[in-house]
Amino acid sequence: MREVNIAVIGATGAVGMEFLRILEERQFPADHIRLTASQRSVGKRIPVRGQELVVQATGPESLEGVDIAFISATSRVSLEMGAAAVEAGALAIDDSSAFRMRPDVPLVVPEVNGEDVEWHQGIIAIPNCATTPLVMAAQPLHRHNPVSRIVASTYQSVSGAGGAAMTELREQTRGAFQGGAPPPQAQPHQIAFNVIPRIDDFGPDGYTKEETKVREETRKIMHSPGLAVAATCVRVPVYVSHSAAVHMEFQHPMDADEARGILAEAPGITVVDAPEEGLYPMPVDVGGTDDVYVGRIRKDTSHPNGLVMWVVADNLRKGAALNAIQIAEEVLKRDCLKPGGKAAVAAASQSLND
């Protein structure tokens, strides 16, 4: 693999810090690494691959000489830096929702639709952290027996809302034992000792934006625009790793053993499914690992062609940073690190005006 110069935009965040760890673990072929964040973090020193890198301010100048910009900051930063990356001829791999549903931007989970990186025009988006584990579990089964409907209920950790939400869970938990939890700021309600059936704002149809993202992104990644998907996304007081109870309906009946066998062979999936021995995936075991874990696979007794399963993945790794690095590896493997065309600049600029 050729060496590339990279910029990590949002390097001090929950995803950015995980990204730097994975960069090192996977020995990603980065020649020069530039770290940027908000003004608050300028000058901060972060050890990366045995050297101390100094965090710089984020702006178009951050992209000078950069081949790939990994953006995990805010949607506003993504819109600005995505457009700037395209202008500068760098490839932007973006963690936010800013570009995901644009028809000219591939939305990629390499194990599912890695080939889509080939048509990028300067920006590739990674999915929401609740979508990625879902499509990882669904696609291998879908190849054998088309999936017609997915119903998912998620149990999402606070790190999905960033570093501030992790701090808030810690402080509220401590506060609850010391006479009163501090009021919520990063979440709409107290999260310690609670679950919140709301992630992001509600739309007119009663679904939250997070739930709508799960539906639309799943359809795009699986190239199945007509796929029926319904999600209920819930925040739980867990630090890292999102879980989901997933009901899938197939075109034909599928045996739980057959599904177990298919998933066990699928790249990036680990089946942990021996309930009688107390073995099923749980966030405490999955945090810090790379795979999507599937267990409790069983017939859906309410539907002749249905299966039910429990899916868990580290949202900061496979749900964000790892997926972004895997996309870059896919781009380098397929030799399609081409600069963005005019159409992509126009698309990114148009987003800024939306």
* Min dist. Cβ of residue 156 to ligand NAP (A): 8
Specify whether the CB–CB gap between 19 and 11 falls below 8 A: yes
- Interface with ligand NAP (CB under 6 A), residue from 29, 163, 339, 341: 163
Q: Which stretch binds ligand NAP (CB under 6 A): 33-41, 213-221, 329-337, 344-352?
A: 33-41
Specify whether the CB–CB gap between 262 and 300 falls below 8 A: no
Q: Which stretch binds ligand NAP (CB under 6 A): 69-77, 204-212, 260-268, 346-354?
A: 69-77
Active site residue 129: yes
* Min dist. Cβ of residue 45 to ligand NAP (A): 14
Report the relative pairing of strands 242-250 and 306-313 from DSSP bridges.
antiparallel
- Interface with ligand NAP (CB under 6 A), residue from 74, 148, 194, 289: 74
Active site residue 336: no
Binding mask 7-26 for ligand NAP (x = CB under 6 A): ---xxxxxxx----------
Report the relative pairing of strands 56-57 and 30-37 from DSSP bridges.
parallel
Q: Rounded distance, CA 136 to CA 294, Å? A: 10
113 near ligand NAP (CB under 6 A): no
Distance between first and last Cα of the chain: 38
231 near ligand NAP (CB under 6 A): no
Residues touching ligand NAP: how many (CB under 6 A)? 29
Q: Is 322 exposed, middle or buried (0-12, 13-18, 19+ CB in 10 A)?
A: buried
Q: Is 111 exposed, middle or buried (0-12, 13-18, 19+ CB in 10 A)?
A: buried
326 near ligand NAP (CB under 6 A): no
77 near ligand NAP (CB under 6 A): yes
- Interface with ligand NAP (CB under 6 A), residue from 56, 62, 96, 187: 96
133 near ligand NAP (CB under 6 A): no
| Interhelix angle 342-353/75-88, nearest 10 degrees | 150
- Interface with ligand NAP (CB under 6 A), residue from 46, 62, 82, 95: 95
* Min dist. Cβ of residue 64 to ligand NAP (A): 17
Amino acid letter, 132: T
Query: How far, CA to CA in Å, does 152 sit from each of 5, 64, 179, 249, 274?
Result: 39, 42, 37, 12, 22
**Choosing from 129, 142, 144, 336, which is the catalytic residue?**
129
Q: Which stretch binds ligand NAP (CB under 6 A): 26-34, 45-53, 157-165, 343-351?
A: 157-165
For 38, the enclosing helix (H) or strand (E) is: none
Specify whether the CB–CB gap between 231 and 154 falls below 8 A: yes
* Min dist. Cβ of residue 132 to ligand NAP (A): 8
Cα–chain center distance at 212: 15
**Choosing from 144, 223, 242, 247, which is the catalytic residue?**
242
* Min dist. Cβ of residue 29 to ligand NAP (A): 23
Q: Rounded distance, CA 17 to CA 232, Å? A: 29
By beta carbon distance, the residue nearest ligand NAP is: 13
Q: Write out the catalytic residue numbers.
A: 129, 242
**Binding footprint of ligand NAP on the chain (CB under 6 A):** 10-16, 37-38, 40-41, 58, 72-75, 77, 95-96, 129, 159-160, 162-164, 315-316, 319-320
